[in-house]
Chains A and B, each alone.
Chain A
Amino acid sequence: MDILVCARRVPDTAENEIQLNRTGNDIERDDLVYSINEPDNYAVEEALQIVARSGGKVTVATVGTDDDEEILRREMAMGANQGVLLSDEAFSGSDGKGIATVLKGFVQKEKFDLILTGVQAEDAGAQVGGMLAAMLDYPFASLVNSIEVLDGNRLKISREIEGGNREMSEIDLPCVLSIQTGINEPRYVGMRGIRQVASLEIPTYGAPDLGIDPASVGEAGANVKRDDYFVPALGKGAEILQGTNEEIADKLIELMKAKGGLQ
């Protein structure tokens, strides 16, 4: 099975405190640590496991700039057969539909049996996979937390619904699935693995290569635009306890006793 995983490089919220920049038109990006969007990494691992069982190859693609190559190499070090960068000045400022349009161009060029995305990105909102599927007229499922290959034409999948319940479905190939975190345990990638793929060539495709009308993507094609970033005025907010750890602990115990949580 030939699998495409659509991935993105995002600021790593485990490594950074996200703050506004001085003018409020963006977050402060100096010194940010970037990494692959976490759910996308689960999607790559899932693709590798499917290929290990059923054969085929895994391609990881991202829409971005040269800076984004690092996540492609990371996923190639994990075991992906190929990384592809979809890059063009015309793509800059794309909304979700713009990104989906670029990916559609790539899918129509290469043909895949299965397309995976992460369930959502930290700075976007669970949209590109569902849009891409609709553009291609492929079936789609979001929040997927297990995949079983039934045969060359069908998968059995589960989706994570409320209360930890799982909605089981059968879905025809080719299809697009958005992968929920926790579906597997992504393998570790060491520096050694990344060095081994450091010199591999990463093909780059622009709008003409993908048959994309520049007016349909980027700023020009965007229906949705960010005006600014802000931090909403807090409600009451927490009372922050001050003092040594010991003093704080005693204060907390007092408060919890008063609330009936400690007898």
Chain B
Amino acid sequence: MTARIFVYIVQKGGVPDDSAAELFAAAKKIDPAACPTAIVAGSGAELDVACNVLSAFYAEVWKVANDSLAYPNAELVRQALVKVLPPGGIVLVAHNHFGIDLGPGLSIKLNAAFVSDVVGIDGVEGTDLKVVRQEFGGAVSTHVRCKIVAGAVINLRPGAFKPVEGGATMGSVVDKSSLVGALTAKRRYLTTVVAEAGDVDITKESVLVSIGRGIQEKDNIAIAQELAEAMGAVVSCSRPVVDAKWLPKSRQVGSSGQTVKPKIYLACGISGSFQHLAGLKGSPFIVAINKNPRAPIFQVADVGVVTDMLEFIPELTERVREMRKVSV
């Protein structure tokens, strides 16, 4: 194993992204003896703060300071990385909205291989890196082989790699800024528009009746609404319901929506993609209702009901109402 491993870490206000420890763990899975190098970009004092934080974990931290890198614009970061990276390395990037922007184009400019959204690493065999990906929303997985002779850019799914011990070092910070020079962008960041608050705050609810594609039609939302009312809960949803404009964005659970932490989560007609599950925190009791017994949601749910939600939910609503009548 000779390829050197680099991880690119986004920092904001001096705080490195949560992926820092996960990317380190992934590097160790590629090569247990690896001493991965962290690369972090930005400008001003906050960049030094981020470098110091990372040097407690990584033996070597490459600092790339440039005024135009104050905001993480993938186009500019790519230009900087192409200038500082030696040929043939393996570069690990978190597969989030920044990594999706950066990874594919970086691999082309480095003339390296690229694998997207990797969830597992089996190690190196000859000149191949063996990794695991998921397809069809997690319904099936694949073993994938990637040639690393000319280097590789590997985008790793956030949350898929558990942080490991053994990162604690007193690492050194190496300033690579002078290699970068002037950067020019054909895409210029303007501003960030914060999501509007919705009519209800699903992040504060203890019971959520959450609906997905299985709701089928807008008119059927009333069925979920009635169950939620009977239970004293609120209706949330997965992405397809928002895409169809049936519920506002503020009701969406997932990495591009809200992060919720209810006690009980009823996933009705939700397949359970990782983007959706990423919005579910605090180990709720998950009930999955889905007519497809192979839906990935059944892998993470505590209890499951394999049935058509449109038939089952009105029945459940009825029983909840009866139960409450008796108990009042």
Contact = CB atoms under 8 A, between A and B. Distances in A.
Given A142-B97, A168-B192, A227 B144 contact: yes
B192 A252 contact: no
A123 interface: yes
Nearest to A133: B105
Interface stretch (A11-19, A67-75, A79-87, A193-201): A11-19
Contacts of A161: 97, 192, 256
B258 interface: yes
Given A232-B141, A237-B299, A97 B258 contact: no
B114 interface: yes
Interface residues of B, number: 99
Contacts of A171: 186-188
Contact of B258 (A14, A130, A164, A256): A164
A52 interface: no
B47 interface: no
A103 interface: no
A250 B319 contact: yes
A3 to B, nearest CB: 18
B136 A123 contact: yes
Residue of B104, B155, B288 contacting most chain A CB atoms (<10 Å): B104
Most buried by B among A130, A228, A259: A130
Main secondary structure of the interface of B (DSSP, over half): mixed
A223 interface: yes
Interface string B181-212: 00001111111111100000000001100000
A259 B305 contact: no
Nearest to B271: A13
Nearest to B320: A253
A191 interface: no
B186 A139 contact: yes
A160 interface: yes
Interface string B218-236: 0000000000000111000
Nearest to B259: A163
Contact of B192 (A166, A239, A261): A166
Contacts of B257: 163-164
A61 B207 CA distance: 46
Given A11-B136, A237-B299, A143 B97 contact: yes
Contacts of A49: none
B312 to A, nearest CB: 5
B59 interface: no
B52 interface: no
B288 A238 contact: yes
A99 B111 CA distance: 15
Contact of A223 (B73, B146, B293, B306): B146
B299 A234 contact: yes
A246 B319 CA distance: 8
Contacts of B298: 237-238, 240
A156 to B, nearest CB: 8
Contacts of B281: none
Interface string A157-177: 011111111111111100100
Contact of A13 (B74, B109, B136, B286): B136
Given A165-B193, A238-B288, A182 B242 contact: yes
Contacts of B150: 223
Top 7 nearest A-B pairs (CB, nearest first) are A125-B116, A130-B104, A261-B264, A238-B304, A134-B105, A223-B113, A164-B195
Interface of A: 11, 13-14, 17-20, 27, 96-97, 100, 122-131, 133-135, 138-143, 156, 158-172, 175, 178, 181-182, 185, 223-232, 234-235, 237-241, 245-246, 248-250, 252-253, 255-256, 259-263
Interface of B: 73-75, 78, 95-97, 100-109, 113-117, 130, 133, 135-137, 139-147, 150, 152, 155, 185-195, 206-207, 213, 231-233, 239-240, 242-245, 249-250, 252, 255-259, 262-264, 271, 285-288, 292-294, 298-307, 311-312, 315-316, 318-320, 323
Given A19-B294, A224-B144, A255-B285, 19 more contacts: A17-B294, A18-B136, A27-B140, A130-B104, A131-B108, A162-B255, A163-B258, A164-B258, A166-B193, A175-B186, A182-B242, A185-B245, A223-B114, A224-B114, A238-B298, A238-B299, A253-B320, A259-B285, A260-B264
